[in-house]
Amino acid sequence: MLERSLRRMTLDHIVDGCRSESNQPRAEETGYCFELFRRALEEDEQAAWQAIDQQYKHLILHWIYNCSPNLPREEIDEIAPQALPKFWKILTKSTTPVTHRFAHVGAILKYLKQCAVSVLRDHERRAQRRERIRTKLQASDQQLARRLETEQELLARVDQEKLLQMVRNWVKTYVTDPQEQRVLVLSFEIGLSPSQIVQHYPQEFPDVQTVRRIKERLLKRARRAMGDTVQVNGNGSSLPVKPTSHVNLSREQIS
């Protein structure tokens, strides 16, 4: 009798009754909330669905928060609205009437809670997949960076060796004057300035200008021969190098 009476009531009356019923003990339920769900599921009343959303959205938020209290509030707010559509999608596939499937509104709410927890778990699995992908991509990027760095170092060593060999060949072929050879070693191997060379070898180099003229002559010939720039060190010594390379000549390297 009560069920028939509820079905004849307006939706507004049912909504008001459900709101009031939700504040009462389960033993005092009179069927308003159950009827609201029946109309939404069996009759597909959009206004009934809207009323359910308003009535239970805070409860759904509460369920999700209790299951994952460390989840940021903005994520909970994003997840909660997915529970009711999932609930609708599953139950509307069945032709079994709501009254036959659920004994009371508590059973319906229990199923709605399961749907809320389900969308939460789906969200967590998606987040875990994204994190795994991000970690793999990060590891791949790091591996690629290390490989590129290794390749660049190898190329730099190859370029350095080519340049050294070019310098060696040029020195052996074109630097035959003893004074030039002495300046080459003292400046580029030992790193002495022109004044220091004069100080240590006054008999061979009477003044600084003599050393500078010899160095300038060497550098001009080197530039013409190798066609690259010359890098000048802080002590005034210079060396034919490629724009991105730096070569320190030793006695062993040029001999």
Question: What does the pLDDT read at residue 155?
Answer: 66
On whether the CB atoms of residues 181 and 163 are closer than 8 A, the answer is no
Supply the pLDDT for residue 158: 64
Least confidently predicted of 25-39, 74-88, 179-193, 208-222: 179-193
Check if the beta carbon of residue 85 is closer than 8 Å to that of residue 57: no
Confidence of residue 247 (pLDDT cuts 50, 70, 90): very low
Q: In the predicted model, what is the mean pLDDT of residues 7-29?
A: 87
The tens digit of pLDDT for each residue in 31-85 reads 899 999 999 999 889 999 999 999 999 999 999 999 999 899 999 999 999 999 9
Signed CA dihedral, 99, 102, 106, 110: sign only: negative
Distance between CA 186 and CA 178 in Å, rounded?
Answer: 12
Weakest mean pLDDT among 9-18, 90-99, 147-156, 177-186: 147-156
Q: Across residues 211-237, what is the average pLDDT?
A: 67
Distance CA(222)–CA(167), nearest Å, equals 9
Long-range Cβ contacts of 134-142 (<8 Å, 24+ apart): none
Q: Where are the domains of the chain?
A: 2-129, 175-254
19-32: average pLDDT: 83
Q: If pLDDT is split at 50, 70 and 90, which confidence band does 159 have?
A: low
pLDDT reported for residue 15: 93
Predicted structure pTM score: 0.53
